Amino acid sequence: MRRDPNLRTTAFPLDVVERWMQAVIVHPGAVQEALASEEASRELPAGSLEELVKPSATLTAEARVAIYREMYLLRMVEALATDYPVTQYVLGEEAFTALVKDYVQRYPSRSYTLNRLGDRLPQLYLEEPERAGAAFLHDLTSAELALTQAYEEAESEVLTPDAVLAVPAAAWPQARLVPVASLRLLALGHPVLPHMEACRLELPCPKPRRGATWLAVWRKDYTVHRRGLSRAEHHLLQALAGGLSLGQALAETAASLDASDASKRIHAWFRAFVAEGLFSRVELRDRQP
């Protein structure tokens, strides 16, 4: 990085002071370890603390630096607890704080907003499968991230039953049902809704167990919703979200359903999807020649 020449005229140029202080603040060890760390020593020789930071009437220079270290971690924990309240509830405060400490070492904030800080927490569990409960916690954090993403997404217009009725029957096979922008579809290896509910009601968490789970997360009228799906519902919504026409999506999905009641079930799903606000609009296409 190019250095501003104005900063080079004192024994403690601003850029050096700032890099040193950041290295000490974000270091995961104890304050003494942070002060003696390689990152801090790259900027200023070990033992420079008293030459740079004044003690106060009540605190040593080290204790004053430690205030910033504590506040940094506290802020990171608060930010991630906002996005991952259920994960914090499941892990408990101590284990969650330890997780945050590790996470911000690997994925420190590089954004002007804290809203993006937690975007890669599910990724951490993929990258470190040896972590306790990693497979379940990957699924849980993925679901919580989807809730956050749905909260942040643009509000979409919602397809109304009247708009559905206005589509000519012959146009449906080629039609494309466009989901609302906030819709997130998840295929997980563990049920997570019971843990979300336990957290909401402040009840003891059930033990994580394996089990294929499909979820939809979306927002309607600025309220985020979530609900479980069957495998076939998930498949159908995934196909529609991927841009397939209704005819193509139904053909793919119907193959996995019992032919005797497939039509009835699919109709019931669509009524529910529309009522719940999962779709934004119907795009009508010309029939293929």
Using the rule CB under 8 A, is 93 a contact of another protein? no
Using the rule CB under 8 A, is 67 a contact of another protein? yes
Using the rule CB under 8 A, is 25 a contact of another protein? yes
Give yes or no for a contact between 79 and 117, defined as CB atoms under 8 angstroms apart.
yes
Using the rule CB under 8 A, is 3 a contact of another protein? yes
Kindly indicate which of the ranges 59-67, 121-129, 164-172, 265-273 contains the residues binding another protein, using the contact rule CB under 8 A: 59-67
CA atoms within 13 A on the CB side of 186: 29
Other CB atoms within a 10 A radius of the CB of residue 203 amount to: 11
CA atoms of 229 and 110, how far apart (whole Å) = 36
Minimum CB separation of residue 186 from another protein in Å reads 19
Other CB atoms within a 10 A radius of the CB of residue 43 amount to: 19
DSSP state of 179: E
Q: Which helix (H) or strand (E) holds 123?
A: helix 121-127
Query: Contact with another protein (CB under 8 A): which of 31, 36, 61, 274?
Result: 61
Give yes or no for a contact between 49 and 65, defined as CB atoms under 8 angstroms apart.
yes
Minimum CB separation of residue 247 from another protein in Å reads 32
Using the rule CB under 8 A, is 52 a contact of another protein? yes
* Tokens 């559905």 belong to residue: 164
Residue 202: which region, alpha, beta or left (left: phi > 0; alpha: psi -120 to 50)?
Answer: left
* Between 2 and 264, CB nearer to another protein: 2
Interaction with another protein in 191-250: which residues (CB under 8 A)? 219, 222
* Between 61 and 257, CB nearer to another protein: 61
Instruction: Catalog residues that contact another protein under the rule CB under 8 A.
Output: 1, 3-4, 6-7, 9-15, 17-19, 21-22, 25-26, 50-54, 56-59, 61, 63-65, 67-68, 71-72, 75-76, 79, 108-116, 151-155, 219, 222
